[in-house]
Amino acid sequence: MHFRIQLIAIAGSIVLTAAIFELVRKRRLREEYSLLWLLAGLCMLVLSLNRGSVERISRFMGVSYAPSALFVAALFFGMLLLIHFSMIFSQQAERVRILAQQNALLRLEISELKPRNGDETWPDEVPSA
């Protein structure tokens, strides 16, 4: 690996890690969702600092062309993140469903308690989603 590309790789991984960290600090990204990204940034940093590690890993995996080991690792990591997102979506969908149900039942309860005040359409008229 040339010195220049190593420098770029180191800088890139530092920028990525720092950017993630900054997002968490500004509360734009929640800690629990940042862990995988930080892990990715740190892995990249370790690989770019340690020149021989990519070659050693690819030799260990039986891959003759070292960069393709890197691609496999990147792809695997991307899939890991996507699965993580799918899990989060599923959990969110579940929570939104529960909220919708409770909201609907509460609206019914309120409409039975509350004198109408001439507002005849409430609570059937739900703002469209």
Partner 1 sequence: MTKSDLLAIVPAYNEEHNVGAVVEKLRKCGLPMDVLVVNDGSSDRTAEVAKSAGATVVTLPYNLGIGGAVETGFIYARDYGYSFAVQVDGDGQHKPEEIPTILNPVKNGETDVAIGSRFLTKEGFRSSPFRRIGIYIFRGAIYLATRQIITDNTSGFRAYNRKAIKFLAEHYPCDYPEVEVVVTLKKNGFHLKEFPVQMDERQGGRSSITPAKSVYYMVKVLLAVLVCYLRSPEVREDRS
Contacts 24+ apart (CB under 8 A), 48-54: 48/6, 48/9, 48/10, 48/12, 48/13, 49/10, 51/1, 51/6, 54/1
According to CB under 8 A, which one of 3, 112, 116, 117 is a site residue for partner 1? 112
How far apart, in Å, are the Cα atoms of 62 and each of 26, 56, 58?
Answer: 43, 10, 6
Interface map 6-45 toward partner 1 (x if CB under 8 A):
----------------------------------------
Question: Least CB distance from residue 96 to partner 1, whole Å?
Answer: 9
Q: How far is the CB of 108 from partner 1 (least distance, A)?
A: 5
CB 123, CB 109: distance < 8 Å: no
Q: Which of 18, 103, 110, 119 binds partner 1 (CB under 8 A)?
A: 103
Shortest approach of partner 1 to residue 128 CB, angstroms?
A: 8
Residue showing tokens 């059937």: 124
Binding test (CB under 8 A) with partner 1, winner from 46, 97, 110, 114: 97
Which segments of the chain does DSSP mark as H helices, in order? Answer: 3-25, 31-49, 51-61, 66-113
Binding residues for partner 1, per CB under 8 A?
Answer: 97, 100-101, 103-105, 107-108, 112, 123-124, 126-127, 129
